[in-house]
Amino acid sequence: MKPIPTSVGEQAILEFKDQWAEGQQASHPVQEGKLLLSWLAVVLRSRLSVEAAEIGNVSSPPERPYKQFLGPIEPPADIQELFDRLCGLDDKLFRTYLRACDLYHLATQVMDDRPSLANFLLVSSIECLGTIVTPGDGFGQSFLKFVRTYCPKTVLGERMSDAEWNGLLSKIYEYRSQYAHGGKDVPVAALLADKLGLPWVKHFVGGKEEPAPSVSWFESVVHASLVQFLRAVQAGPPPERKRQKIIELALSSAIVHLRARRPITQGQLLTKDDIELQ
């Protein structure tokens, strides 16, 4: 690694030669660099990111296959009603729904560079709600039940049978489990489906042909499921001050209750010596 001058933070060039061994037929040097950076992030305890890549003096810009996030923002016609329904949810469901939205939002932020992580977060978004809205025998069953209940057929795929898209969703959940418990990425075939704008493509795994659903298709399924759930769920009237629930939820993540060593008055500046921390 070679440090380079910069006015923001600290930057360096990770340089290596893509030397092929006899009989080698392919390589992916940019991905090799990313894998090595992940290891270096642990060893160096640093936040490392890829700003640019170059192969043989030719720039290799990051791919952006997920075009659905690049267009103009178009609010749905019922956005005010959706907000009212959100604020009318009971406290537990309100908190859980916003957590699911947070997971979905995080997934959209990493889809370009970390599609396997994005898939994991998207599944977790549905799991988050499914465990209390459509409980099943396990997380996987509640996940499938939630999507089957709330995702419109137009998004899942009208030309596919229930068995076909149920198989795709089961495969998506399998990818989540393999990533979480075995460190295995979504298959390259799923990323190919993303690039081609297809919901899935067929590929061979261990000599057996099977479908590989795209992360982009699954993102649209999760998005539609979350929005449709809010349209369908039984919600009470929103409170007079609609922001109140958001205020309380935001404060709950910023307030900690501790024991004071001595009497404290309102407005007093505190230090760690005023609190029993341990």
For residues 186 and 111, the answer to whether their CB atoms sit within 8 Å is no
pLDDT in the model for residue 97: 94
Q: What is the mean pLDDT of the chain?
A: 86
Shared domain check, 185 and 86 = yes
Lowest pLDDT segment from 49-53, 84-88, 261-265: 49-53
For 54, half-sphere exposure in the C-beta direction (CA atoms, 13 angstrom radius) is 8
Tens of pLDDT, residues 217-244: 999 999 999 999 999 998 888 778 777 8
Residue 43 belongs to some domain of the structure: yes
Residue 69 belongs to some domain of the structure: no
pLDDT in the model for residue 249: 85
For residues 116 and 179, the answer to whether their CB atoms sit within 8 Å is yes
Shared domain check, 203 and 86 = yes
Domain residues for the domain of 192 are: 79-232
Give the Cα separation of 45 and 275 in Å (integer).
Answer: 30
Residue 237 belongs to some domain of the structure: no
Shared domain check, 117 and 214 = yes
Give the Cα separation of 220 and 1 in Å (integer).
Answer: 40
Q: At what angle do helices 115-133 and 188-196 cross, to 10 degrees?
A: 90
CB atoms inside a 10 Å sphere around CB 158: 9
The residue among 15, 89, 23 whose CA lies nearest residue 57 is 15
Residue 264 belongs to some domain of the structure: no
Give Cβ neighbours of residue 33 (< 8 Å, ≥ 6 apart): 14, 16, 50, 53
pLDDT tier at 52 (50, 70, 90 boundaries)? low
Residue 268 belongs to some domain of the structure: no
pLDDT at 98 over 70: yes
Shared domain check, 102 and 195 = yes
Residue 90 belongs to some domain of the structure: yes
- Give the Cα-Cα-Cα angle 238, 244, 248 (nearest 5 degrees): 130
Q: Distance of CA 91 to CAs 1, 23, 86, 94, 244, Å? A: 51, 61, 10, 5, 11
Shared domain check, 86 and 55 = no
Greater pLDDT, 129 or 30: 129
Shared domain check, 112 and 174 = yes
Shared domain check, 218 and 175 = yes
Residue 146 belongs to some domain of the structure: yes
Q: How many domains does the chain have?
A: 2
Tell whether pTM > 0.85: no
For residues 108 and 69, the answer to whether their CB atoms sit within 8 Å is yes
pLDDT tier at 160 (50, 70, 90 boundaries)? confident
Shared domain check, 179 and 131 = yes
For residues 176 and 164, the answer to whether their CB atoms sit within 8 Å is no
Q: Max CA-CA distance within the chain?
A: 76
Greater pLDDT, 174 or 29: 174
For residues 198 and 166, the answer to whether their CB atoms sit within 8 Å is no
Residue 139 belongs to some domain of the structure: yes
Give the Cα separation of 130 and 148 in Å (integer).
Answer: 11
For residues 177 and 186, the answer to whether their CB atoms sit within 8 Å is no
